[in-house]
Amino acid sequence: MGLLVDGVWTDQWYDTKSTGGRFQRSASQFRNWVTPDGSPGPTGDGGFAAEKGRYHLYVSYACPWAHRTLIFRKLKGLEDHITVSIVSPLMFENGWPFDTSFPDATSDELFGSQYLYQVYQQADSKYTGRVTVPILWDKKQNKLVSNESSEIIRMLNSAFDGVGAKPGDYYPKELQEKVDEVNSWVYDTVNNGVYKAGFATSQEAYDEAIEKLFESLDRLEKLLGEQRYLTGDKLTEADIRLWTTLIRFDPVYITHFKCDKKRILDYPNLHAYMREIYQLPGVEETVNFNHIRSHYFRSHKTINPTGVISIGPNMKLDVPHGRDKK
């Protein structure tokens, strides 16, 4: 995994010895906001106004957190507004690399970096912390705006509406409380829950995580049997946040993270819901299973030291979903 310490790269895996074998994700440190007029957002400083061509995303097709931002970029029609660099999925001792020899990976068009940690060094030469995707970068001021995916998608959702974004509000005022409530337990037990199970280094930590994960999947299956989306009849950010975990579940998490009690295929409502979102215009283009499976099976040497990639399931994502009748 690796991290920077006072601006110096060090190849360190997550410490689970001090946590009883439990995986604990570190908090994002860059928390500025792009707003329509550059005024301060909920966190960080102001000075980041929405402008066409001003911002750049660093992402990985493999990472579910970065995947959220790619989907919002598509849903809001921001492809011509926000440029993108895509790291290679093969993350080894130097972290995320830029390597165009891997299909669909790109170079770092802003700085010509070899590794993503060098972009963080551009932002703060003394940065201490994990080197993660996504990153939203301001090309005008040459500053890192944010590396918090949950906040980046809210910027993409509304900040660019006045400069040519497509209509659509995935965090509407009347549903915000409901969306936040769903996000909270889905993040803790599902989005991060698969990592808590997969990166656990004690049986107790694994058992604890896996029980909560499948309790939540059962809860989601019941909920989606009663309504079309997580907060009712409208697609919101809560659905996109859940979906990036669902789409990785059967091809990766079942095997690699030992989440094998049930498949998403075994949940009729969840599986149909996953297909519906996959079939939304533009979403399929953001899914790259070669990057997803190559990253998890080949990069996590403490889990899969041989780097052998399993054959994987037949996903059947183009089958009619029937959710429009819900």
Q: Are 260 and 245 in contact (CB under 8 A)?
A: no
Strand order in the sheet with 8-10: 8-10, 3-5, 129-130
Cα 229 from chain centre: 19
User: What does the block give as tokens for 169?
Assistant: 């509000």
CB-based contacts of 266, cutoff 8 Å, min separation 6: none
Question: Among 55, 58, 63, 253, which one carries the catalytic annotation?
Answer: 63
CB-based contacts of 311, cutoff 8 Å, min separation 6: none
User: What does the block give as tokens for 185?
Assistant: 């337990």
96 belongs to an annotated ligand binding site: yes
Catalytic, 259? Answer: no
How far is residue 149's CA from residue 162's CA, in Å, rounded to a whole number?
A: 22
The label of the residue with tokens 């209509």 reads 167
How far is residue 49's CA from residue 47's CA, in Å, rounded to a whole number?
A: 6
283 belongs to an annotated ligand binding site: no
148 belongs to an annotated ligand binding site: yes
185 belongs to an annotated ligand binding site: no
243 belongs to an annotated ligand binding site: no
> Which amino acid appears at position 191 of this protein?
N
User: What does the block give as tokens for 267?
Assistant: 């949940």
- Residue 77: left if φ>0, alpha if ψ -120 to 50, beta else—which one? left
How far is residue 177's CA from residue 90's CA, in Å, rounded to a whole number?
A: 38
109 belongs to an annotated ligand binding site: no
Question: Among 115, 195, 253, 273, which one carries the catalytic annotation?
Answer: 195
Catalytic, 229? Answer: no
**Whose CA is closest to 91, among 112, 116, 121?**
116
26 belongs to an annotated ligand binding site: no
**Whose CA is closest to 247, among 40, 70, 90, 114?**
70
The label of the residue with tokens 């994700």 reads 25
| Binding site feature residues | 96, 130-133, 148-149
Task: Tell me the catalytic residues.
Answer: 63, 195
Annotated binding site for glutathione, which residues? Answer: 96, 130-133, 148-149
